Amino acid sequence: MKLTTATLLSIQLPFLVSAHYNPHLARDNIPEWIPGGPNDFRGPCPMMNTLANHGYLPRDGGNITKPNAVQALSSALNFNTSLAELMFEMAIIANPEPNATFFTLDQLNRHNVLEHDASMSRTDAFFGNNHIFNQSVFDATRVYWTGSTLTADMLANGKIARQIESKAFNPNYTFTATTEQFSLGEVAAPIIVFGDMQSGTVERELVEYFFAENERLPTELGWTKKAQAVTVEQVGGVSQMIAQAASLLTDGAAATKKRWVDLHAGAGF
């Protein structure tokens, strides 16, 4: 699968890493977790906030440069260097200054640049704060997580439901083809970060802990980063799982088109 810039960036922003889960493992050697304070920058992307909370990125959420971004992604999340560099180059567009060499987490809050409507855990910008975790929005998403082990189908169902709700009640609802690519990456991210990329599954308690516990890595539940570096190809495979699961078609597009033509031919269309 060839990934678009939007898909890659969406995966980088919310979660950024593959991992495995074993509740019996000891806690990983991760720097102390300190939540952001009132003068610190935070954005709409839970994992970027988490990396700042753990001190892999600047704790104040400012001055995220290529060297410190690559270091954070490599040491904390085991991205290979080329992938980490690529992710930074995609994220730098959040800084509106020409030829910017850094970005801050609050710059990610700019609506319809990277942040978008129908988030899994944030309210739409039209309704107020678009970057603080919203329990009601998250609860609406996880209604569709119907098992202790989440599948691509469950995650995709939550995505579709959030889009419908946003479109129904937000008069400024915007969801372009580019946004769709962001969204697929975001929905794939729990599997990429905390789950099994081969089977397309993830333990629900890890995802809920991550969102509900103030953007914190779930090491207390036994999570550790993967031993082998994460690749673009792996990310693409999981994103494709979500894309297929999010489709409402039950057969091929060609067959659907043929049925439409046959139906309307008799009606004089």
| Higher pLDDT among residues 57 and 47, named by residue | 57
Let me know: does 92 contact 100? Beta carbons within 8 Å. yes
Q: Average pLDDT for residues 183-189, to the nearest whole number?
A: 87
Which strand (E) or helix (H) includes residue 192?
A: helix 177-194
Cα(142)–Cα(201) distance, rounded to whole angstroms? 15
Mean pLDDT of the chain: 84
**pLDDT band at residue 160 using 50, 70 and 90 as cut-offs:** very high
Cα(163)–Cα(173) distance, rounded to whole angstroms? 9
Q: Copy the structure tokens of residue 97.
A: 């200054």
- According to the model, what pLDDT value does residue 15 have? 45
| Domain residue ranges in the chain | 5-265
Q: Average pLDDT for residues 217-236, to the nearest whole number?
A: 85
**pLDDT band at residue 261 using 50, 70 and 90 as cut-offs:** low
Q: Average pLDDT for residues 208-227, to the nearest whole number?
A: 88
In order, the DSSP letters of 201-262 are EEEHHHHHHHHHTTS---GGGTEEE-SSPB-HHHHHHHHHHHHHHH---SS-HHHHHHHHHH
Residue 20 has pLDDT above 50, yes or no: no
Helix (H, G, I), strand (E, B) or coil at 151: strand
Q: Which of the listed CATH numbers 2.40.30.10, 3.20.20.10, 3.40.50.300, 1.10.489.10 matches domain 5-265? A: 1.10.489.10
**pLDDT band at residue 182 using 50, 70 and 90 as cut-offs:** confident
Residue 55 has pLDDT above 60, yes or no: yes
Type of residue found at 161: A
